[in-house]
A and B are shown apart, each in its own frame.
Chain A
Amino acid sequence: MGVGIQVTDLNAWYGANHALLGINMNIPANHVTALIGPSGCGKSTFVRCLNRMHETNATARVSGEVRIGDVDIYAEASPVEIRRRVGMVFQRPNPFPTMSIYDNVASGLRLNGFRNKGVLDEVVERSLQSSALWDEVKDDLHKKSGASLSGGQQQRLCIARALAVDPEVLLMDEPASALDPVSTAKIEDLIFQLKSQYTIVIVTHNMQQAARVAETTGFFLMGKLVEFDSTHKIFTNPTDKRTEDYITGRFG
């Protein structure tokens, strides 16, 4: 089951660059929350702060509080623990090129020391079914490399890999922006099915995509959260003038 995320007064810096300014957000459990905004507005930085992925950049710093479920992720947990609970799917599909399809999906468990073959088989099948890839690859699990799949299949493989470690939250950073429309539609269907089990936060440049998949939408501009409301309200009757300008295509 998914858990909610409470963000309180979150600030982030890359070196001297103040990338996020005082973000407050209450992300509901088992919902899809979309984050929209022009390039460089801080939405990717924001999701990376939710699983402490921004710390891979040595100059990154944050202040404020992020609670996932009942854990303050900066005060009460290590990045490794948090990332096991908060899965991430990236913009470009990034399967491990030296691993088979099976090994890619099993990698999260194996690299954390899990070895039971029977359970692994089960998890791999369940994860690939959840990511709607099972029927396409079930005969090639050990034969084919993850990198030999098409772009859309690779992205669903990456989703399966993220699901295999059984996270509560799934962060997706523009998961369909490198894919063709058919693959994009498959990913969107998938997001719709997955939200019953996971809390999903998706960053997207595509406003139609936000409107299609998300119940809640946040609009970021220059490091600030301008508006955060139900997707319907954001796209039909936004409160802030800047939100309206953005969604009607007057800038960005």
Chain B
Amino acid sequence: MAHRSNTSAANRIWRTIANHVATGLAVVSTILVVAPLVAIFVYLIYKGASSLNFAFFTQAPKPVGEAGGGMANSILGSAILLAVGSAIGVPIGIAGGIFLAEFGRGGRLANTIRFTADVLNGVPSIVMGIAVYSLIVLPQKHFSALSGGVALGIMMIPTITRTTEEMLLMVPHAIREAALGLGVPNWRSVLAITLKTASPGIITGCMLAFARVAGETAPLLFTAFGNQFWSANLNEPIAALPLQIFIYAISPYDEWHRLAWAGALVLIALIVVAVSLVRYVASRGILKGAN
């Protein structure tokens, strides 16, 4: 007995130490993950906040040499590009995910689509820009907001498709059986029950895709092209925040550098606002205690 209690005393100390070490490692990892994000945000505020003023959100850029001006046209342009991109990427992406998880499971077509989506996810964004350039811009013989939106939309598809598939597959088989057992046709059960049950995860996937393309510059270079003036026409070149930041950042003017910092800050802030807004609206439609 004495021997046993000795061992357990030593064991207890060892377990306490191991426990503290494991917790400590988890805390350090968390800090390492979050620190760059915080650092970026703080640095952007430090560099950019001072250039933010009313004009920034209401005016188009002024020519070089003239003081003032803003990025309002770029904010509008990014909103339009992202709206077009989401209108293309979200429905096609979700429909693709539904096919992979519910109808094509294990089939040859599904495997091909899944493989293609994974490859598409790895295609450099500049290549996507060139592809849309030759598909839309060249035949039309002009740059346009539409082509930029299409490029962003195509980039959203693989992320949304794969998350939708994963989320649908996580819905328990028992839930599907419950719906089928009530005499609900399969397609209706998929749309009204499985998809709805998986919707929080699917919305997260859409938001990830959205946030990713919101900051893309490369695919817009040959498509949306950028615009120093106000435009909301889908058939004309359009300004976009990342493009404007890019142009200002590589310019030789201090004033433009400051505006570029401010633009970067606004871009990140708008992404955070858009994502939070969608999450809030979506969570109101879903009951508490559901999980």
Contact = CB atoms under 8 A, between A and B. Distances in A.
Interface of A: 51, 53, 56, 79-85, 87-88, 90, 92, 94-100, 107-108, 111-112, 144-145, 147-148, 158, 161-162, 165
User: Which 9 A-B residue pairs are closest in the complex by CB-CB distance?
Assistant: A84-B183, A148-B289, A108-B182, A83-B183, A94-B174, A88-B181, A145-B287, A111-B184, A145-B290
9 contacts: A83-B182, A84-B183, A98-B197, A98-B199, A108-B182, A108-B183, A111-B189, A148-B288, A162-B182
Given A80-B185, A81-B183, A83-B183, A98 B286 contact: yes
A112 B185 CA distance: 8
Contact of A107 (B172, B182, B290): B182
Contacts of B287: 98-100, 144-145
Contacts of A53: 177, 180-181
B177 A98 contact: no
B291 A147 contact: yes
A145 B199 CA distance: 16
Q: How large is the interface on B (under 10, 10 to 19, 20 to 34, 35 or more residues)?
A: 20 to 34
Interface of B: 172, 174-185, 188-189, 192-193, 196-197, 199, 286-291
B184 A80 contact: yes
Contacts of B184: 80, 107-108, 111-112
Given A92-B174, A98-B199, A51 B291 contact: no
Contacts of B177: 53, 56, 88, 90, 94
A66 B179 CA distance: 23
Name which of A84, A100, A111, A145 has the most chain B CB atoms within 10 A of its CB. Answer: A111
A66 to B, nearest CB: 16
A56 B182 contact: no
Contacts of B175: 94, 96-97
Contacts, number: 88
Question: Do most interface residues of chain B lie in helix, strand or loop, or is the interface mixed?
Answer: helix
Contact of A111 (B172, B179, B197, B199): B179
B180 A111 contact: no
Given A80-B185, A92-B174, A111-B189, A98 B180 contact: no
Nearest to B106: A58
Contacts of A161: 178, 182
A144 B288 CA distance: 7
Name which of B182, B184, B196 has the most chain A CB atoms within 10 A of its CB. Answer: B182
Given A97-B175, A98-B199, A111-B189, A90 B181 contact: yes
Nearest to A171: B181
B101 to A, nearest CB: 15
A147 B290 contact: yes
